[in-house]
């Protein structure tokens, strides 16, 4: 047996301690923390504007660090701007069990996306303190830098760099619209932190569990409190460029037109027909379309659009994505059609033992629970590359997120934190389940 496997020794009171811990999760304290955090970048419409590594975001991190220091937890930062809050265990040499999420938001974001996962983790630490529980392993609360990817594109930057530290130079060179690099912004963040030591990127982690609002309607529609997330769907993104010839809208006869818009509309029609027939799990979106020269009396010489295609199955991503490329090639007529693959991210399938732990905790707490895949991407996708990973979803009103109206019920947030507490406690006391694979 290695040190990461389950300790099978007698521990008759673990069930009682886990039950007491979940009862000690303080719904009001959690809610007050979320509302206090929401003041940093409050928009006036009930939302939050807290772009990554801005002064506002840095101040929000400082608020959290202040709360952590009140409890005596150790705080550390790394080179990409992640921070880690550590609650010691009985055996400091063991790899920690990690939870966390992000504090940055979209420009018109809500109070809960990301923030909930961070403050649910803090609430678990506080409840452990209240009962004087010492876990075997340390617990760490991670706040991942730039999850949203608004100011610095792309997102999930902090967790991606943690999972693959050798990618740091590439991330550091990314600039925002004002030409400020990630490296400069992270340096300013470090300077704003009062005596927080730096630590290495990519330290070992036993397991990672992230709590998050669902950002979709499934839990609410099925009257379910807890989602045990099976994995995160993958995506293939394409850019399609259709090239015809600009011409006078009034004088050019049909027979000599090379109208890029006409080809685009026919191609899009066939792409929608293909993907509509592929079932509910297939998510196909064309959210950006550019027409050149974009003038009302010129036959368009060029149309460019972006395809965002997501699916939980790798084989469907391959087959259906390839058929899209095939359709693009077949629509070349008077106009040239060129489709370029921008990104192919494989789906993450969490080790089933982790969602099973979540389901078991929810059942013991008598919270309704279903398994579901995540439609949105999360930092957990990157942690999945490093250690057994799972996510706990709670409902958000109407499935609305990335929106100032984003809202979640205190009772659901409390229930998700109870499940998080039980799962973290078991992992930090018993180690990984024997069947984690």
> In the bound complex, what is the minimum distance in angstroms from residue 146's beta carbon to Zn ion?
11
> In the bound complex, what is the minimum distance in angstroms from residue 375's beta carbon to Zn ion?
12
Closest to Zn ion by CB, 286 vs 376, is 376
CB atoms inside a 10 Å sphere around CB 193: 17
Does residue 214 bind Zn ion (CB under 5 A)?
no
Give the three-state DSSP class for 143.
strand
Give the three-state DSSP class for 230.
strand
Q: Restricting to residues 98-117, which ones interact with Zn ion according to CB under 5 A?
A: 113-114
> In the bound complex, what is the minimum distance in angstroms from residue 104's beta carbon to Zn ion?
9
What is the rounded distance in angstroms from the CA atom of residue 45 to the CA atom of residue 30?
22
Closest to Zn ion by CB, 113 vs 406, is 113
Q: What sign results for the dihedral spanned by CA atoms 167, 170, 173, 174?
A: negative
Q: Which regions of 276-375 does DSSP assign to beta strands (E)?
A: 283-292, 298-299, 302-311, 336-345, 348-349, 369-374
> In the bound complex, what is the minimum distance in angstroms from residue 370's beta carbon to Zn ion?
20
Q: What sign results for the dihedral spanned by CA atoms 16, 19, 23, 27?
A: positive
Q: Spell 378-409 as b/e; 16+ CB within 10 A means b.
A: bbbbbbbebbbbbbbbbbbbebbbbbbebbbe
Whether 218 contacts 326, CB under 8 Å = no
What is the rounded distance in angstroms from the CA atom of residue 57 to the CA atom of residue 322?
41
Q: Restricting to residues 374-433, which ones interact with Zn ion according to CB under 5 A?
A: none
Q: Restricting to residues 125-184, which ones interact with Zn ion according to CB under 5 A?
A: none
CA neighbours within 13 Å on the CB side: how many for 374? 29
Closest to Zn ion by CB, 79 vs 113, is 113
Closest to Zn ion by CB, 212 vs 426, is 212
**Mind giving me the DSSP string for 373-403?**
EESS--THHHHTTTS-EEEEEE--GGG--SS
> In the bound complex, what is the minimum distance in angstroms from residue 55's beta carbon to Zn ion?
21
Closest to Zn ion by CB, 87 vs 378, is 378
Closest to Zn ion by CB, 114 vs 388, is 114
For Zn ion, the nearest residue by Cβ is 114
> In the bound complex, what is the minimum distance in angstroms from residue 212's beta carbon to Zn ion?
6
> In the bound complex, what is the minimum distance in angstroms from residue 101's beta carbon to Zn ion?
6
Closest to Zn ion by CB, 113 vs 259, is 113
Closest to Zn ion by CB, 114 vs 355, is 114
Nearest to 436 by CA among 390, 392, 399: 390
Closest to Zn ion by CB, 109 vs 347, is 109
What is the rounded distance in angstroms from the CA atom of residue 46 to the CA atom of residue 110?
7
> In the bound complex, what is the minimum distance in angstroms from residue 102's beta carbon to Zn ion?
6
How many residues line the site for Zn ion (CB under 5 A)? 2
Residues linked to residue 213 through DSSP beta bridges, in sequence order: 394
Q: Side by side, which strands form the sheet with 234-243?
A: 283-292, 302-311, 234-243, 336-345
> In the bound complex, what is the minimum distance in angstroms from residue 114's beta carbon to Zn ion?
4
> Would you tell me which residues interact with Zn ion (CB under 5 A)?
113-114
């Amino acid at each position: 047996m290695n040190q990461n496997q389950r300790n099978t020794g007698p521990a008759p009171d673990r069930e009682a301690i886990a039950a007491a811990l979940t009862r000690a999760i303080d719904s009001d304290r959690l809610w007050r923390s979320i509302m206090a955090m929401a003041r940093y970048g409050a928009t006036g419409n009930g939302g939050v504007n807290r772009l990554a590594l801005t002064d506002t975001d840095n101040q929000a991190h400082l608020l959290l660090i202040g709360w952590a220091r009140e409890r005596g937890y150790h705080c550390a930062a790394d080179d990409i701007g992640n921070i880690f809050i550590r609650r010691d265990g009985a055996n400091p040499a063991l790899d920690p069990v990690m939870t966390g999420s992000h504090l940055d938001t979209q420009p018109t974001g809500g109070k809960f996306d990301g923030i909930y996962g961070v403050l649910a983790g803090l609430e678990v630490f506080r409840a452990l303190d209240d009962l004087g529980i010492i876990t075997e392993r340390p617990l760490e609360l991670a706040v991942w830098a730039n999850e949203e990817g608004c100011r610095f594109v792309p997102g999930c930057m902090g967790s991606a760099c943690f999972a693959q530290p050798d990618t740091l130079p590439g991330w550091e060179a990314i600039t925002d619209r004002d030409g400020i690099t990630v490296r400069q912004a992270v340096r300013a963040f470090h300077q704003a932190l009062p005596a927080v030591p730096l630590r290495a990127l990519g330290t070992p982690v036993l397991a990672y569990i992230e709590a998050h609002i669902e950002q979709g309607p499934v839990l609410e529609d099925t009257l379910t409190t807890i989602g045990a997330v099976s994995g995160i769907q993958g995506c293939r993104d394409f850019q399609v460029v259709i090239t015809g010839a600009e011409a006078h809208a009034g004088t050019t006869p049909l027979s000599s037109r090379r109208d890029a818009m006409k080809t685009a509309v026919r191609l899009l029609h066939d792409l929608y027909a293909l993907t509509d027939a592929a079932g509910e799990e297939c998510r196909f979106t064309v959210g950006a379309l550019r027409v050149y020269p974009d003038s009302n009396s010129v036959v368009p010489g060029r149309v460019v659009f972006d395809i965002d295609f997501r699916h939980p199955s790798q084989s469907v991503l391959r087959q259906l994505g390839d058929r899209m490329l095939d359709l693009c090639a077949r629509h070349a007529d008077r106009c040239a059609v060129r489709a370029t693959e921008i990104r192919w991210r494989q789906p993450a399938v969490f080790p089933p033992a982790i969602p099973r732990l979540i389901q078991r905790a929810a059942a013991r707490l008598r919270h309704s629970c279903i398994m579901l895949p995540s439609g949105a991407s999360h930092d957990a996708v990157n942690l999945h590359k490093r250690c057994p990973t799972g996510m706990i979803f709670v409902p958000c009103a109407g499935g609305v997120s990335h929106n100032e109206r984003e809202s979640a019920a205190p009772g659901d947030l409390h229930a998700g934190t109870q499940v998080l507490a039980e799962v973290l406690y078991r992992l930090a006391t018993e180690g990984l389940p024997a069947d984690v694979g």
